[in-house]
Amino acid sequence: MKQHNAVKAEVDSWRDFSRRLHEALELVQLEDESLRTDLETEISAIEAELEKRSFTAMLSGKHDHDFAILAIHAGAGGTDSQDWVAMLERMYLRWAESRGYETEILDLTEGEEAGIKSVTIAVDGDYAFGYLRSEKGVHRLVRLSPFDAAHRRHTSFALVEVLPQIAMDDAEIEINPEDIKMDVYRSSGAGGQNVQKNATAVRLTHIPTGIVVTCQNERSQTQNREFAMRILRARLLELKQAEKEEERAVLRGEYTKAEWGSQIRSYVLHPYQMVKDHRTEHESGNTQSILDGGLDEFMEAYLRSTA
C-alpha cells in the first residue's frame, strides 16, 4: 500500500502538470493580448517546475526516494577538522531546511576543544537519499586556522557517509535478534540541568560483522534503540551493496581497495575562494553560499555525470 500510494501520488502530480501545460497552450492560441502578463508568469512557473522535475527524474535508483541518514566524521587536521565537521553539519542542516526536509540529530560527539568529532543526522523527506548520495566521500577544507596562534594556513578533512533509511519490514535486510549485543549508558552533553540522569543512550553491536552504532538523544531508551536499529539496517545494506560492487569489480579486473584517500570536493577559503568537485570538475567561487547550504548545483552536476 505504501508503494502504491507513492506511485499514485507521482502519477497524479504528472497529470496535474500536463493539465497546466495544455491549459497554458490553449490560452496562448487565443492570442488575447490582455492575457500576456498572466501567461508570462505561468510559463515562467512551468519552466521552473520542469527544471525541478528534470532534476528529480535523475533520481531513479532503488533507494533514491528514501529518507536518509547522514554521518560526518572528523579526519586529519586535529581541532580544525572537528571545527570543519561543525561547519559541514551547519551546511547540510541549512540545505535540508531549504528543501523543507525535517532533520534530527541522532548521535553527536563533541570535540575536546571545539567543534564536533562525529555527528549522525536523520534527514526525513522524499528523495533525501537520492540528493545526498552525491555528498558521500572525503571533503577537504583549506583556510587560515582560527586555532593557530600564528594564523597559518591549515588543511582539514572530514568524511561524509550517506545511507538510506530502510523500513523495518524491508525483506532485503534481515537481522537475527541473537546477533545483536545492546549496551545502555548515559548520554554525554552539557552539565547542570541538562545532564542525563538515566541511561537512555544505546550502543548496538552486530556480532557477525562487528558493526557498532550508537544513538544518544533526550528521548527514551526505547526510541534510541529504534533509531539505532534503523542505522544498523542501513549500514548492513551498505555493506551488502559494497560486497556486490567489489565482486563485480573483481570480475571486470578493476578492483581497488576502498580506503581513506583522495577527497571528492575541496573548499578553499585562502589564498583564494573556490569550491570544486573533483569528480565532475564543477566549481563555484561563491563559497559562502555553498557553506550556507546552496548545494543543489553540485548535486545536479554529479547526478548528470552519473546518469
Model confidence pLDDT, tens digit, residues 281-291: 999 999 999 99
Whole-model pTM: value is 0.79
**Residue 197 — very low, low, confident or very high, per pLDDT cuts 50/70/90?**
low
State residue 106 phi and psi, 5-degree precision.
Answer: -90, -35
Q: What is the 3-state secondary structure (H, E, C) of 221-236?
A: HHHHHHHHHHHHHHHH
| DSSP type of residue 195 | S
The pLDDT score that the predictor gives to residue 256 is 47
Lowest mean pLDDT among 74-78, 218-222, 227-231, 253-257: 253-257
**Per-residue pLDDT at 257 exceeds 50:** no
**Per-residue pLDDT at 190 exceeds 50:** no
Strand 265-268 to 211-215 pairing: unpaired
Domain layout of the chain by residue ranges: 2-57, 68-165+278-306, 177-252
| DSSP type of residue 217 | S
The pLDDT score that the predictor gives to residue 12 is 92
Q: 285, 274 in Cβ contact below 8 A? A: yes
**Per-residue pLDDT at 260 exceeds 70:** no
- CATH fold of 177-252: Double Stranded RNA Binding Domain (3.30.160)
Q: Higher pLDDT residue, 240 or 273?
A: 273
The pLDDT score that the predictor gives to residue 259 is 45
The pLDDT score that the predictor gives to residue 241 is 84
**Residue 193 — very low, low, confident or very high, per pLDDT cuts 50/70/90?**
very low
Task: Give which of 20, 11, 25 is closest to 46, Cα–Cα.
Answer: 20
Looking up cell 580544525 gives: 80
**Per-residue pLDDT at 100 exceeds 90:** yes
Q: Give the C-alpha separation, 87 to 149, whole Å.
A: 21
The model's pLDDT over 6-29, given as tens digits with 9 standing for 90+, comes to 789 889 999 999 999 999 999 999
The pLDDT score that the predictor gives to residue 2 is 72
Q: Higher pLDDT residue, 72 or 169?
A: 72
**Per-residue pLDDT at 258 exceeds 90:** no
Q: 105, 112 in Cβ contact below 8 A? A: no
Instruction: Count Cβ atoms within 10 A of the Cβ of residue 57 and give its class: 0-12 exposed, 13-18 middle, 19 or more buried.
Output: exposed
The residue-averaged pLDDT of 133-158 equals 90
**Per-residue pLDDT at 86 exceeds 70:** yes
CATH of domain 68-165+278-306: 3.30.70.1660
The model's pLDDT over 52-69, given as tens digits with 9 standing for 90+, comes to 788 777 887 888 888 999
Percent of the chain clearing pLDDT 70 (strictly above)? 90
The residue-averaged pLDDT of 256-264 equals 60
Report the chain's mean pLDDT, rounded to a whole number.
86
Q: Give the C-alpha separation, 15 to 131, whole Å.
A: 24
The pLDDT score that the predictor gives to residue 170 is 64
